[in-house]
Structure 1
Amino acid sequence: MARKRKGRDISGWLVVDKPAGLTSTAVVNKVRWALDAKKAGHAGTLDPEATGVLAVALGEATKTVPFITDALKAYRFTVRLGQATNTDDAEGEVIATSDARPSDDQIKAALGQFVGDIMQVPPKFSAVKIDGQRAYKLARDGEEFEVEARPLWVEELVMTDRPNADHVELEMTCGKGGYVRSIARDLGAVLGCHGHVVRLRRIWSGPFDAEDGLGIEQIDEMAKTPDLDQYLLPLEKGLADLPEVKCTPEGAAKLRNGNPGIVLPSDVEYGDECWASFDGKAVAVGIYKAGELHPSRVFNQ
C-alpha cells in the first residue's frame, strides 16, 4: 500500500521572485515547506544564478503547468562582449577572447538574425539529454559530444542599453525552450567578438510578473501562517492563454468523471483546446466538439 503524502490539499499558484544562487528545485521545496503543501512544481527552470519570476504550482494547479511552460516569456539580460566561456555565462571558464568591440549599430543590425523562427543549439552545460544523459554531466566529465539544434520562436530581441564598450543590455521575448546563454554566445560569434551572459532576469512568464513575486525572505517570514495563503493565485490563472467555456451542472458532473460534458454556446470552434468552468471554478481542459468538451485533464476542486 502506497504511503499517503503528508501536507495540506491546497491548489493554486505562488509567484516567486527568485534570487541568484538558488536552484529552481530549491525554491519549489521552500514553497512546499512554507505552505505545508502536499504537491508542488514549477513552470520553467531558471539557472541558479538567474533571477526573476518562478511560478510555483500547488496541488491541482500542477496540471496547468504545461500551459505556462508553453507560454511566451520575457528576459532582461546583460552580455559581456570580448569573452567566450565554456558555460556561456559568467560561472564558466574563459575559453576565448577578442579585442574587437562592435558598435551599437552593428549590434542592433545583428539582432535581427535571432528573431522569428530560429534554430538554436543549447549550451553544453544544460539539462538537455544526450543519449539518455544530461549534457551538463557529460560536459563536467570532459566528454566530447555535440548538442543538436532545436527550433525556437523569438518574438522580440532588442538592445535596451550599452553601459560601456564591453557590455550590452538586451530584452528578449520567446517561446518554450529558449536559452538566453545561447543567444549571447551566438550573438558574440556573429559579431566576431565572442560573448557570454553575466546577468539574467526573467521579467514575466505567461500571466505571471516578477514584480508581483514574493522574495525568499518574505516567504520565510510568513511560512506556516495564514498570511502566506493570501498570496496564492487561483488555479485558473494558469489557464489564462486558453479560451473558457461554461458548462451545465450535468456537463460538469460528467467532466469530473472524465467523460465528455455539455458546455454552453461560445465563440470557440470545433477542435479548439479550451477549459470548462462551473461556478467560476475550472472543471476540465479538453477539446471542444459539437457542443461538448472532451476532457484531457480534469480538476478536483
Structure 2
Amino acid sequence: MTSGSTVSASRSGILFVDKPMGLTSHGVVSRVRKLADTRKVGHAGTLDPMATGLLTLGINSSTRLLTFLVGLDKEYLATIRLGSMTDTDDAEGESVSLADPAVLLGITDEAIRAGVLPLTGEISQVPSTVSAIRVDGRHAYSLARAGETVVLKPREVTVSAFEVLAIRHTDESPTPFIDVDVRVECSSGTYIRALARDLGASLGAGGHLTALRRSRVGPFSLTDATPLENLDPDRDLIPAGAVAARLFPVLELDADSATDLSHGKRLSGLDLSGGPIAAIAPGGQLVGLVEVTDGIAKPIINFPPGEVNA
C-alpha cells in the first residue's frame, strides 16, 4: 500500500479505484481516508465484498459530485453458476438447494442463451433479500441475517445488454454444475445476483452468482481506475472539472462570471438550456453545476472557490 502521500485539505477531486475482492466499499473508503489524510471521503455505488472493479470516490468538496454519479448506468462481468441456489443468491451464502443432475444434463447452451432474453430490456425485478434496500428503516440484509422474513417489492429496471460470453459444463459427482460467464449493461439499481437467481429458476436448475466485476460506470471504465494496493491519492486524484466535463455539457466561464457564480449570482444571456451543465472557470476548476432556463443560469450546486480541483 502506498503511504506518505496525502491530499491537502484544500485539494478536491475524484478517485477511480479498482476494488479488490473481500473488502467492503466502506473498507475502501476507510483506507483512502488514511492514505489521503482526510475524513472527507465518500463513494458512489456500493460493491459487495465478493465483487471487484470500479468504485468511484470523492475527496473533500468533490463528494458533492457523487450524487450525480450514483444513478449512472453500469456494466458488469459476472459468472453465474447453474445447479444450486444460495440464501444470498451469491457464493457468500449457504446452499439451500441442488438441482437433480438429470435436469442439468438436459440444459443445452441454446437453452441458456434463450433464457437470458426474457431478462433483457425493461424488466420487473425482485431484489435479493440481502440487498441494501431499506424496509421500515432497516437494511433488508440486516433483517434477513437476523432470521426475519423479508418481502421486497418488484422494481422496474433496464438491462440493455445480457450477453453470454462462455458456458462451461462441469460433471463433478455428486453435484454437477454449469458456469456461465456473462456481460451485463444495466440501469442503476439492477441486481446481478437477482439475474443469476432468475436465470437459474427459469431453467429449473436454480442459480447463484460466483463472481462479479464492475467494469464501467457511465463513461468511466476500469482503464480510468487504479488498483487499491497501488493507489496514491495525490497522484491519482482527477479534477472534479474533468469528471464533470465527461458527464455534462460545459459552460466555459470568464474570470468575472466564475466569481459571480461562485457567489451564488445568476448568469444571463446564455445560449445553452437545460441542466445539469458544468460551469468551468478559465483554469479548469469546476465552479458549479447549473441549470439554464431562458438564457439564465441558476446554480444547482457550487464548489468552494478556495479548493483546487486536482
After TM superposition, the score normalised by the length of structure 1 is: 0.89
CA distance in 2 between counterparts of 1:273 and 1:63 reads 13
| C-alpha distance 250-52 of structure 1, shift in aligned 2 (>3 A) | same
Instruction: Name the residue aligned to 1:283.
Output: 287
CA distance in 2 between counterparts of 1:109 and 1:29 reads 43
| C-alpha distance 237-214 of structure 1, shift in aligned 2 (>3 A) | same
Paired residues, number: 286
Unaligned runs of 5+ in 1: 1-5, 223-227
> 8 Å contact 1:20–1:50 — kept in the other structure?
yes
- 1:255 aligned to 258, 261, 281, which one? 261
Q: Report deviation, 1:124.
A: 0.7
CA distance in 1 between counterparts of 2:43 and 2:219 reads 14
CA distance in 2 between counterparts of 1:163 and 1:57 reads 39
Q: Report deviation, 1:178.
A: 1.4
CA distance in 1 between counterparts of 2:211 and 2:142 reads 23
- 1:200 aligned to 212, 216, 231, which one? 212
Instruction: Name the residue aligned to 2:64.
Output: 63
CA distance in 2 between counterparts of 1:230 and 1:264 reads 36
Deviations 1:257-293 (A, max 9, x none): 223223753xx43x34312112122211121112221
Secondary structure at 1:71's aligned position in 2? coil
Q: Report deviation, 1:253.
A: 2.4
* 4+ aligned runs moved over 4 Å, structure 1: none
Secondary structure at 2:226's aligned position in 1? coil
CA distance in 2 between counterparts of 1:145 and 1:202 reads 27
Q: Report deviation, 1:299.
A: 1.1
| C-alpha distance 74-263 of structure 1, shift in aligned 2 (>3 A) | farther
> 8 Å contact 1:158–1:172 — kept in the other structure?
yes
> 8 Å contact 2:83–2:99 — kept in the other structure?
yes
> 8 Å contact 2:270–2:297 — kept in the other structure?
no
Q: What code does the residue aligned with 2:280 have?
A: S
- 1:141 aligned to 137, 140, 146, which one? 146
> 8 Å contact 1:88–1:197 — kept in the other structure?
yes
Identity of aligned residues (%): 37
| C-alpha distance 31-215 of structure 1, shift in aligned 2 (>3 A) | same
Q: What code does the residue aligned with 2:121 have?
A: G
CA distance in 2 between counterparts of 1:254 and 1:116 reads 45
Question: Which range moves more in the overlay, 254-263 or 91-100?
Answer: 254-263
After TM superposition, the score normalised by the length of structure 2 is: 0.87
CA distance in 2 between counterparts of 1:237 and 1:193 reads 47
Residues 214-233 of structure 1: pairs in structure 2 closer than 5 A: 214-219=226-231, 222=232, 228-233=233-238
| C-alpha distance 196-275 of structure 1, shift in aligned 2 (>3 A) | same
Instruction: Name the residue aligned to 2:127.
Output: 122
Q: What code does the residue aligned with 1:33 have?
A: K
Secondary structure at 1:297's aligned position in 2? strand
Answering whether residue 257 of structure 2 is matched by residue 245 of structure 1, we say: no
CA distance in 1 between counterparts of 2:45 and 2:249 reads 22
Question: Which range moves more in the overlay, 240-249 or 132-141?
Answer: 240-249
> 8 Å contact 1:80–1:168 — kept in the other structure?
yes
Q: Report deviation, 1:7.
A: 6.7
CA distance in 2 between counterparts of 1:10 and 1:66 reads 19
